[in-house]
Amino acid sequence: MVIRLLRDGWVSVGGGKHDKYEDPDRPEVMIVVPRHREQSPGVARSIARLAGWI
Q: Which residues contact 27 (CB under 8 A, 6 or more apart)?
A: none
Asked if 32 and 19 touch (Cβ cutoff 8 Å), the reply is yes
Residue ranges of domains in the chain, CATH in brackets: 2-51 (3.30.920.30)
pLDDT at 32: 93
End-to-end CA, the chain: 14
| Residue range 5-54, pLDDT digits in tens | 999 999 999 878 899 999 999 889 999 998 888 888 999 999 999 999 99
Q: Which of 23, 21, 5 is nearest to 13 (CA)?
A: 21
Distance CA 16, CA 53 (A): 25
State the pLDDT at residue 30.
94
